[in-house]
């Protein structure tokens, strides 16, 4: 009889030993505001996000191999929140997605690569520089070239070195897409539920660049064989303003509880996330 009771208790408690499943729903949006109007200091250059080991959200085959199933819109539960953002003049939704995954630790949970919004690769290079500006500069350099002794063309650059052509653009940069939103998300369990977001929002803007300096004016005064230096002129930087695609980093970690809706804020964007335990 005791064996039967123990067996019955084991059967009843068996679901608690089974791996939990979670449905994760995410909305990503940007604020319709000029970054220059925000009282923040933004670096012109960001260290690229490390995307090693991530899986693209569109790669359902590799996601399935990691125990991830993309959910259809019919299973979304944050549609009202999405509609409010879409109908608000101050926000632009960029992505609304959902997926199901297992109860995994930080080391085992899938890291999902997300891209959304406009593709700026036809206007900018990977380093953020404008294609039109590079082309204009190349044409200007080409117009000042002179024939070499071998009959070829030598392009003299600002630093006095020579190039054998004007198309020194990394071809791989042309093939890479530059989406308005690009980065990674990971949801994992470590006693509690956690979400880690590491995203870049790209916005066209302008930046100042130093294109040269004014030379020093030095007068040499000879006096009984001695050389004196006088009338030193202050070096002045020559600055130009150029069009530039700038990255604004969104990097946050949040502890959560299942079925709670969390809002992760940023001066230029935001994320709404809800993690629901399947069968709860």
The structural domain count of the chain equals 2
Burial of residue 223 (CB within 10 Å: 0-12, 13-18, 19+) is: exposed
Q: Helix H segments across 18-151?
A: 60-65, 79-86, 131-143
In a domain, 43, yes or no: yes
Residue 215 lies in a domain: no
Note whether 98 and 70 are same-domain residues. yes
| pLDDT tens by residue, the chain, 280 residues | 555 555 444 444 444 445 899 999 999 999 999 988 888 888 888 899 999 999 999 999 999 999 999 999 999 999 999 999 999 999 999 999 999 999 999 999 999 999 999 999 999 999 888 888 766 666 665 555 555 444 333 333 333 333 333 333 333 433 468 999 999 999 999 999 999 999 999 999 876 666 566 665 555 555 555 555 555 566 666 666 678 899 999 999 999 999 999 999 999 999 999 999 999 7
- Residues 77 and 166 placed together within one structural domain of the fold: no
Quote the domain boundaries for residue 34: 19-121+177-206+247-277
The pLDDT value given to residue 41: 85
Q: What pLDDT sits at residue 46? A: 86
Q: Contact 200/46 with Cβ under 8 angstroms? A: yes
Claim to verify: residue 34 and residue 108 sit in the same structural domain: yes
What is the reported pLDDT for 38? Answer: 87
Both tokens of 141, joined, read: 């350099």
Q: Residue 132: what pLDDT? A: 80
Q: Are residues 73 and 187 in the same domain?
A: yes
Residue 89 domain-assigned (yes or no): yes
Q: Which two tokens stand for residue 138?
A: 């190349």
For residues 270 and 29, the answer to whether their CB atoms sit within 8 Å is: yes
Residue with tokens 């923040």: 40
Q: Which residues pair with 222 in a beta bridge?
A: 227
- In-domain check, residue 201: yes
Say what the pLDDT of residue 228 is: 55
Residue 233 lies in a domain: no
Nearest of 262, 193, 197, 260 to residue 20 by alpha carbon: 193
For residue 226, tell me if it sits in a domain.
Answer: no
Q: Are residues 60 and 188 in the same domain?
A: yes
**Residue among 130, 127, 66, 57 at smallest CA distance from 98:** 57
| Cα 159 from Cα 179, distance rounded (Å) | 33
Kindly state whether residues 202 and 82 are assigned to the same domain: yes
State how far the Cα of 217 lies from the Cα of 233, in Å rounded to an integer: 6
What are the residue ranges of helices labelled H in 47-98? 60-65, 79-86
CB 158 within 8 A of CB 212: yes
Inside any domain, residue 107: yes
* Residue at 68 is within a domain: yes
Q: What pLDDT does residue 7 have?
A: 47
Query: d(Cα 128, Cα 204) in Å, to the nearest integer?
Result: 9
98 and 197 share a domain? yes
Is 116 found in the same domain as 100? yes
């690769």: which residue's tokens?
Answer: 121
Q: What is the pLDDT of residue 89?
A: 97
Regarding whether 163 and 35 lie in a shared domain, the answer is no
Strands (E), the chain: 21-31, 55-56, 69-70, 91-102, 111-119, 146-147, 153-156, 162-163, 179-190, 192-213, 219-223, 226-230, 237-256, 261-265, 269-277
Q: Are residues 201 and 102 in the same domain?
A: yes
Same-domain status, 159 and 262? no
- Do 107 and 149 share a structural domain? no
């Amino acid at each position: 009889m005791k064996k039967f009771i123990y067996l019955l208790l084991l059967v009843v408690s068996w679901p608690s030993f089974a791996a939990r499943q979670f449905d994760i729903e995410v909305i990503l949006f940007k604020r319709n505001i000029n970054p220059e109007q925000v009282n923040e200091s933004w670096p012109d250059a960001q260290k690229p996000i490390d995307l090693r080991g991530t899986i693209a959200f569109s790669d359902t085959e590799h996601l399935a191999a990691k125990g991830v199933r993309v959910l259809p819109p019919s299973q979304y539960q944050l549609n009202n929140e999405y509609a409010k953002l879409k109908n608000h003049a101050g926000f632009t939704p960029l992505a609304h997605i959902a997926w199901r995954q297992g109860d995994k630790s930080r080391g085992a949970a899938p890291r999902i690569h997300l891209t959304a919004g406009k593709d700026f690769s036809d206007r900018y290079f990977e380093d953020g520089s404008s294609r039109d500006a590079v082309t204009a500069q190349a044409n200007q350099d080409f117009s000042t070239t002179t024939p070499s002794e071998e009959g070829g063309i030598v392009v003299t650059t600002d630093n006095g070195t020579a190039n054998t052509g004007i198309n020194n653009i990394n071809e791989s940069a042309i093939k890479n897409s530059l989406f308005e939103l690009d980065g990674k998300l990971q949801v994992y369990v470590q006693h509690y539920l956690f979400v880690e977001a590491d995203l870049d929002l790209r916005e066209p803007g302008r930046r100042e660049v130093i294109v040269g300096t004014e030379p020093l004016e030095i007068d040499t005064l000879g006096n009984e064989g001695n050389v004196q230096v006088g009338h030193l002129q202050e070096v002045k930087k020559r600055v130009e303003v150029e069009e530039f695609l700038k990255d604004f980093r969104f990097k946050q970690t949040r502890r959560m509880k299942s079925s709670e809706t969390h809002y992760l804020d940023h001066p230029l964007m935001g994320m709404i996330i809800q993690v629901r335990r399947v069968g709860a």
